[in-house]
C-alpha cells in the first residue's frame, strides 16, 4: 500500500512539475523554505536552546576558564563548540521534526500535494543552514569581543563557511534518523546519537585522554572530521589534510541520504 501511494505521489509530482512554469516551481521552493523558517522562529523553546547552549559552553570554558587551558584555548574551543553547535540544527531540525511529521501523517499529506518533491526537504535544509550560520556568528562574536582570540578576518570567514556548510552531513543523518523513528521516539533517538557522538569525537575533551580504542574510532564520526576542518580554519589543525575530511563528510552525507530516501519512498 505504501509503495503504491509512493508511486502515485511520484507520478503526480512529475506531472505537476512538467506542467508548472519554472517561476512557480522556484516560488514553491521559496515559500516552503519561508514557511519552515517562520515555523521555527515561532518556537523559541526549540530555537533558543540550540542557539544558547554552545554559546554558554564557550563562555564558561573558552572565556571564563580559558586562562587555565593555555593561550590557544579560546581558538581551540571555538572550533570545538562551533562544531557542537552546528550539529544540533541538522540532527534536531531533521530527525525530530521528520519523525513527528511522519507519525502525524503530515509527510504523507505533503507528498500528495502538487508541489516539487524536494521542496519539503530543501525547506528544512534552508532552516538548518540559517541556524548553523547564526550559531557560528554568535561564537565568532564572542571569540572576538570577549575572548580576544586574535583571529584573522580570513580565519573568521573560513570558520563561518565551514560551520554553515558543516550542518549538511548532520541534516542527512537527521533525515536518516527521522526515516527510522516515528512520533515521540524522535527526540530520544536523536539524543542517543548527538551527545555520544560529540563526546567520542573529542569536542568536549581532547581525544588524547580517551582510551586508545576510542581514539582510533574517532574518524568514524562526521563530527570528528568537521572539528578537524574547524581547527584548520582557526589555524590549529594539521595542514594539508582538509580534502580528506571533506571527502569523508561528503561520503557520509551521500550514504545517509541514499538510505533515508529509500526508506521514505518505501515506508513514507
pLDDT tens for residues 218-265?
999 999 999 999 999 998 877 567 889 999 999 999 999 999 888 877
In the DSSP assignment, the letter for residue 108 is H
Confidence label for 179 from pLDDT (cuts 50, 70 and 90): confident
71-110 confidence digits (pLDDT tens)? 788 899 999 999 999 999 999 888 888 888 777 777 777 7
**Most confident region among 10-24, 71-85, 112-126, 173-187 by mean pLDDT:** 71-85
**Most confident region among 36-40, 72-76, 183-187 by mean pLDDT:** 72-76
Q: What is the pLDDT of residue 120?
A: 78
What average pLDDT does range 170-188 have in this prediction? 86
Q: What is the pLDDT of residue 8?
A: 44
> Cα dist. 120→61, 107, 186, 191, 206 in Å?
38, 9, 18, 24, 38
Q: Where are the chain's structural domains?
A: 2-267
CB 89 within 8 A of CB 133: no
Confidence label for 7 from pLDDT (cuts 50, 70 and 90): very low
User: What is the residue-averaged pLDDT of the chain?
Assistant: 83
What average pLDDT does range 142-171 have in this prediction? 93
Q: What is the pLDDT of residue 158?
A: 96
Assigned C-alpha cell, 201: 569525537
What average pLDDT does range 47-60 have in this prediction? 89
Q: Could you give the CA distance from residue 156 to residue 139 in angstroms, rounded to a whole number?
A: 10
Q: What is the pLDDT of residue 228?
A: 94
Amino acid at each position: 500500500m505504501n509503495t503504491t501511494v509512493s508511486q502515485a505521489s511520484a507520478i503526480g509530482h512529475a506531472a505537476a512539475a512538467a506542467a508548472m512554469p519554472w517561476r512557480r516551481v522556484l516560488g514553491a521552493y521559496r515559500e516552503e523554505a519561508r514557511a519552515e523558517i517562520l515555523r521555527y522562529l515561532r518556537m523559541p523553546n526549540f530555537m533558543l536552546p540550540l542557539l544558547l547552549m554552545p554559546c554558554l559552553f564557550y563562555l564558561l570554558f573558552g572565556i571564563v576558564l580559558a586562562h587555565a587551558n593555555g593561550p590557544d584555548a579560546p581558538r581551540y574551543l571555538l572550533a570545538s563548540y562551533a562544531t557542537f553547535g552546528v550539529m544540533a540544527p541538522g540532527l534536531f531540525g531533521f530527525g525530530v521534526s521528520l519523525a513527528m511529521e511522519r507519525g502525524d501523517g503530515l509527510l504523507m499529506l505533503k507528498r500528495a500535494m502538487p508541489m516539487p518533491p524536494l521542496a519539503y526537504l530543501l525547506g528544512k535544509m534552508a532552516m538548518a543552514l540559517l541556524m548553523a550560520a547564526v550559531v557560528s556568528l554568535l561564537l565568532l562574536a564572542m571569540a572576538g569581543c570577549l575572548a580576544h582570540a586574535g583571529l584573522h578576518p580570513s580565519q573568521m570567514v573560513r570558520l563561518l563557511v565551514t560551520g554553515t556548510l558543516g550542518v549538511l552531513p548532520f541534516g542527512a543523518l537527521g533525515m536518516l534518523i527521522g526515516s527510522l523513528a516515528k512520533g515521540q521516539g524522535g527526540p530520544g533517538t536523536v539524543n542517543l546519537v548527538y551527545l555520544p557522538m560529540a563526546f567520542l569525537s573529542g569536542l568536549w575533551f581532547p581525544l588524547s585522554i580517551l582510551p586508545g580504542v576510542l581514539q582510533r574510532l574517532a574518524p568514524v564520526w562526521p563530527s570528528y572530521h568537521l572539528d578537524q576542518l574547524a581547527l584548520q580554519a582557526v589555524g590549529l589543525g594539521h595542514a594539508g589534510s582538509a580534502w580528506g575530511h571533506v571527502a569523508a563528510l561528503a561520503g557520509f552525507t551521500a550514504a545517509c541520504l541514499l538510505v533515508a530516501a529509500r526508506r521514505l519512498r518505501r515506508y513514507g
